[in-house]
Amino acid sequence: MSEQTEQTEPEPQNEPHGNSEAAKWRRQLRETETERDALRGRLDQRDRQDIERLATQQLVNPSDLWMVSSIDKMRAEDGTIDMARAEAELQRVVTERPHWAARPPVDLHQGVRENVETQPPPPSFGEALLDAKGGE
Protein backbone atom coordinates (compact mmCIF):
# COMPACT_ATOMS: atom_id res chain seq x y z
CA MET A 1 0.00 0.00 0.00
CA SER A 2 2.78 2.37 0.69
CA GLU A 3 3.87 2.03 -2.93
CA GLN A 4 0.41 3.16 -4.15
CA THR A 5 0.41 6.15 -1.82
CA GLU A 6 3.78 7.21 -3.02
CA GLN A 7 2.70 6.89 -6.65
CA THR A 8 -0.52 8.95 -6.30
CA GLU A 9 1.00 11.84 -4.37
CA PRO A 10 2.47 14.53 -6.64
CA GLU A 11 6.10 15.29 -6.28
CA PRO A 12 6.77 18.69 -4.71
CA GLN A 13 8.34 21.06 -7.19
CA ASN A 14 11.68 22.50 -6.43
CA GLU A 15 11.02 26.17 -5.66
CA PRO A 16 13.81 28.46 -4.60
CA HIS A 17 11.38 30.42 -2.39
CA GLY A 18 8.83 28.43 -0.46
CA ASN A 19 6.61 31.48 0.14
CA SER A 20 6.40 32.71 -3.45
CA GLU A 21 2.88 31.35 -3.96
CA ALA A 22 1.71 32.88 -0.68
CA ALA A 23 3.30 36.18 -1.69
CA LYS A 24 1.49 36.00 -5.03
CA TRP A 25 -1.85 35.50 -3.25
CA ARG A 26 -1.13 38.36 -0.83
CA ARG A 27 -0.26 40.66 -3.73
CA GLN A 28 -3.45 39.67 -5.55
CA LEU A 29 -5.46 40.28 -2.37
CA ARG A 30 -3.96 43.78 -1.99
CA GLU A 31 -4.76 44.58 -5.63
CA THR A 32 -8.33 43.39 -5.18
CA GLU A 33 -8.75 45.42 -1.98
CA THR A 34 -7.39 48.52 -3.74
CA GLU A 35 -9.85 48.03 -6.60
CA ARG A 36 -12.71 47.49 -4.13
CA ASP A 37 -11.82 50.67 -2.24
CA ALA A 38 -11.68 52.67 -5.48
CA LEU A 39 -15.08 51.37 -6.57
CA ARG A 40 -16.55 52.08 -3.14
CA GLY A 41 -15.21 55.65 -3.34
CA ARG A 42 -16.81 56.13 -6.75
CA LEU A 43 -20.11 54.75 -5.48
CA ASP A 44 -20.01 57.03 -2.40
CA GLN A 45 -19.30 60.03 -4.63
CA ARG A 46 -22.26 59.21 -6.89
CA ASP A 47 -24.55 58.68 -3.90
CA ARG A 48 -23.42 62.02 -2.42
CA GLN A 49 -24.23 63.75 -5.71
CA ASP A 50 -27.69 62.17 -5.75
CA ILE A 51 -28.39 63.32 -2.20
CA GLU A 52 -27.05 66.82 -2.91
CA ARG A 53 -29.38 66.98 -5.93
CA LEU A 54 -32.24 66.14 -3.58
CA ALA A 55 -30.98 68.71 -1.03
CA THR A 56 -30.98 71.60 -3.54
CA GLN A 57 -34.70 71.95 -2.89
CA GLN A 58 -34.19 72.42 0.85
CA LEU A 59 -30.71 73.88 1.41
CA VAL A 60 -29.01 76.98 0.03
CA ASN A 61 -25.71 75.11 -0.29
CA PRO A 62 -26.33 71.34 -0.46
CA SER A 63 -22.68 70.46 0.22
CA ASP A 64 -23.10 71.94 3.73
CA LEU A 65 -25.06 68.80 4.57
CA TRP A 66 -21.84 66.79 4.89
CA MET A 67 -20.56 69.06 7.69
CA VAL A 68 -23.25 67.78 10.06
CA SER A 69 -24.27 64.43 8.58
CA SER A 70 -22.83 61.39 6.86
CA ILE A 71 -23.94 59.28 3.96
CA ASP A 72 -24.09 56.22 6.22
CA LYS A 73 -27.06 57.73 8.07
CA MET A 74 -28.97 57.69 4.77
CA ARG A 75 -28.16 54.14 3.69
CA ALA A 76 -30.46 51.15 4.01
CA GLU A 77 -29.25 47.85 5.42
CA ASP A 78 -28.31 46.66 1.94
CA GLY A 79 -26.07 49.69 1.33
CA THR A 80 -28.32 51.57 -1.09
CA ILE A 81 -29.60 55.08 -0.45
CA ASP A 82 -32.89 55.05 1.44
CA MET A 83 -34.79 58.13 0.24
CA ALA A 84 -37.00 58.17 3.34
CA ARG A 85 -33.91 58.29 5.58
CA ALA A 86 -32.34 60.94 3.35
CA GLU A 87 -35.48 63.11 3.54
CA ALA A 88 -35.63 62.68 7.33
CA GLU A 89 -31.96 63.64 7.67
CA LEU A 90 -32.48 66.72 5.47
CA GLN A 91 -35.46 67.77 7.59
CA ARG A 92 -33.38 67.32 10.74
CA VAL A 93 -30.61 69.52 9.33
CA VAL A 94 -33.06 72.23 8.21
CA THR A 95 -34.74 72.16 11.64
CA GLU A 96 -31.45 72.41 13.51
CA ARG A 97 -29.97 75.01 11.15
CA PRO A 98 -32.80 77.09 9.71
CA HIS A 99 -30.32 79.65 8.33
CA TRP A 100 -29.17 76.93 5.88
CA ALA A 101 -32.68 76.47 4.48
CA ALA A 102 -33.39 77.53 0.93
CA ARG A 103 -35.54 80.63 0.70
CA PRO A 104 -38.44 80.87 -1.72
CA PRO A 105 -37.48 82.84 -4.80
CA VAL A 106 -38.24 86.56 -4.77
CA ASP A 107 -40.74 87.64 -7.39
CA LEU A 108 -39.04 90.35 -9.41
CA HIS A 109 -41.72 90.29 -12.05
CA GLN A 110 -42.43 93.73 -13.37
CA GLY A 111 -45.48 94.74 -15.27
CA VAL A 112 -49.13 93.89 -15.13
CA ARG A 113 -50.10 91.14 -12.75
CA GLU A 114 -52.98 88.77 -13.12
CA ASN A 115 -54.83 89.98 -10.01
CA VAL A 116 -54.69 93.71 -10.78
CA GLU A 117 -58.48 94.00 -11.02
CA THR A 118 -59.06 92.49 -7.57
CA GLN A 119 -56.65 94.82 -5.76
CA PRO A 120 -57.44 98.50 -5.27
CA PRO A 121 -54.78 100.76 -6.73
CA PRO A 122 -52.39 102.22 -4.18
CA PRO A 123 -52.95 105.88 -3.31
CA SER A 124 -51.12 108.38 -5.43
CA PHE A 125 -48.46 110.60 -3.89
CA GLY A 126 -50.90 113.54 -3.80
CA GLU A 127 -53.60 111.48 -2.11
CA ALA A 128 -51.12 110.28 0.46
CA LEU A 129 -50.10 113.89 1.23
CA LEU A 130 -53.74 114.92 1.57
CA ASP A 131 -54.41 112.00 3.90
CA ALA A 132 -51.38 112.95 5.99
CA LYS A 133 -52.47 116.59 6.15
CA GLY A 134 -55.89 115.76 7.38
CA GLY A 135 -57.99 114.84 4.39
CA GLU A 136 -58.91 118.26 2.91
CA distance 57 to 50: 12
- Nearest CA to 58 out of 83, 36, 29, 87 is that of 87
Alpha helices in the chain (DSSP H): 2-8, 20-55, 65-68, 83-96, 125-133
**Domain boundaries along the sequence of the chain:** 29-103
CA distance 17 to 89: 56
CA distance 115 to 16: 92
Q: What is the pLDDT of residues 39-81, one digit of tens each?
A: 999 999 999 999 999 999 889 999 999 999 999 999 999 989 9
pLDDT at 28 over 90: yes
Q: Please say whether the dihedral angle defined by the alpha carbons of residues 99, 104, 109 and 113, taken in this order, is positive or negative.
A: negative
Whole-structure pTM over 0.75, yes or no?
A: no
Q: pLDDT band at residue 135, thresholds of 50, 70 and 90?
A: low
Write down the mean pLDDT value for the chain: 82
pLDDT given for residue 113 in this prediction: 63
pLDDT given for residue 14 in this prediction: 52
Instruction: Identify which has the larger pLDDT, 13 or 87.
Output: 87
